[in-house]
Amino acid sequence: MRRPLLGSVTCHPKLFAPMIAALESLEEQGLGHLVEVYSGCWVARTVARSTTAPPSYHSYGAAIDINAPSNPYGQPPTQDPRLVAAFEDQGFNWGGDFLIPDGHHFEYWGEPGDSPPR
């Protein structure tokens, strides 16, 4: 499915509405340029690609990676706080706040008290 700023995206159907809302919010604020690289949504894998970890939110199509080249896993994140806020306002949890930072990662948690879409 084609999405604003990203192009073709394969994700869980429940992810599209909040993802589109976050992207449209960025565009409405003139901040679309903050999305430099779309780095994926659905991919079957475990958390941190560990053989002993549980499935990643990506395995359910419930996470999206934005600007991965400039925000590599395990490094201090450099995402613009306005981009982070646009996604958090729509129910995403930002990986830049993880114990091991994952600054390009946004996983959908939904409204407070909602379960992730699996």
| Model confidence pLDDT, tens digit, residues 89-111 | 999 999 999 999 999 999 998 76
> Which residues, 6+ apart, have CB-to-CB distance to 102 below 8 Å?
71, 73, 74, 77, 95, 96
CA-to-CA distance for 57 and 65, rounded, in angstroms?
11
Give the mean pLDDT of 62-90.
94
Please, which pLDDT band fits residue 5 given cuts at 50, 70 and 90?
Answer: low
Please, which pLDDT band fits residue 48 given cuts at 50, 70 and 90?
Answer: low
Q: Which amino acid is at 64?
A: I
Which tens digits make up the pLDDT trace of 34-46?
A: 999 988 886 666 6
pTM of the prediction? 0.81
87 touches 94 (CB < 8 A):
yes
Residue range 2-108, CATH number:
3.30.1380.10
Q: Enter the tokens of residue 2.
A: 């084609």
